[in-house]
Amino acid sequence: MQKISNILVGTDFSDSSHAALAESQRIAQAVGGKLTVLHVIDEELTEILKQKLNMPESELIKIASERLANHAQEVLGESDKITREILIGCPFVEIVRAAKSHATDLLVLGSGGAETDGVHAGVLARRCVRKLPAKVLLVRQNQHKPFAKVVACVDFSDNSIEAIELAAQVAQQDGAILQLLHVCRPVVPSVHGDRGAFAGTKFFDISLPPYPEMNYAQKQKDKLDELALELLKADYPDLEVESHVFTDGHRPSHGIVEFLKDSKSELVVLGTRGRTGVRSLLMGTTAERIVDHSPCSVLAIKPKGFDFEI
């Protein structure tokens, strides 16, 4: 796993930004990384203020800089290891540019409200998860303390292996339980559920003998346990780790979101690989749905070689 050295946290001074700032500081302290706090002044707002209030751009930047300094001090305290930056432009474009100029390994943003049901990640947050060639952590505004339950989504790809390692790092620093989660569709279509390719045929009218016990879920759980032992035992001997495998008749993303709700998890870590492996392609549909519907904070990891040009 690539070491996290440079952390960029975007703030709009909202409650969710407070939560994002606090978590980014915990990560920076744990990894000994550099933390940059960024506020982007929307270029359209800048033009309105300049015209209606006759406010020069330099004065606007000065006001924003003072507010950012107070905001950072309120949440993070005094620190000479924190860099503050004010930019003017399109927030998404400026975040991408800042991330590249600072060689950012991790972008942290606030996302969503205190009520988790029905709250989707904001447009800016989703665009950054899709496009930014770095890890992106979206922190819910009701996350006022270190994470207590961290879930790593595992499909046994290289991308999800990195998700396990990063989730373990966060769980260790926050004193959390690490839960490894694998969700799959039923091996055999259900007569009363998803009929798949057999829908509309007489296949299910035939009297079938019972299927042999495939024990698929237990085999996957054993695989998860072995993976946890291989990846985590040496570096995280005291970390509490749980393995969970279950089937979901809808789709993996549905099962993952339901697990997050039922377990009251506070952070989910997932890879965003698409099946094609094409650079700069939008993330896979499973990751897209989880980011959009997760009831908790989300840490998304890009596949190796991912890039994006504005």
- Say which residue the tokens 């290289």 belong to: 158
- pLDDT score recorded for residue 195: 44
- pLDDT score recorded for residue 57: 85
- pLDDT score recorded for residue 2: 62
- How many C-beta atoms surround the C-beta of residue 44 within 10 A? 9
- pLDDT score recorded for residue 273: 67
71: left (phi over 0), alpha (psi -120 to 50) or beta: alpha
- Sign, CA torsion 110/293/136/144: positive
Backbone angles phi, psi at 261, to 5 degrees: -70, -50
Query: Domains in the chain, ordered, with CATH?
Result: 1-142 (3.40.50.620), 145-310 (3.40.50.620)
- pLDDT score recorded for residue 91: 92
Q: Which stretches in the chain have pLDDT values below 50?
A: 113-119, 190-209, 211-213, 274-282
What percent of the chain is predicted at pLDDT more than 70?
80
Q: Are strands 106-111 and 135-140 parallel, antiparallel or unpaired?
A: parallel
Cβ contacts of 151 within 8 Å, gap of 6 or more = 167, 179, 180, 181, 256, 259, 260, 263, 265, 267, 268, 269
Summarize pLDDT for 82-108 with one digit per residue, the tens: 899 999 999 999 999 999 999 999 999
- pLDDT score recorded for residue 70: 92
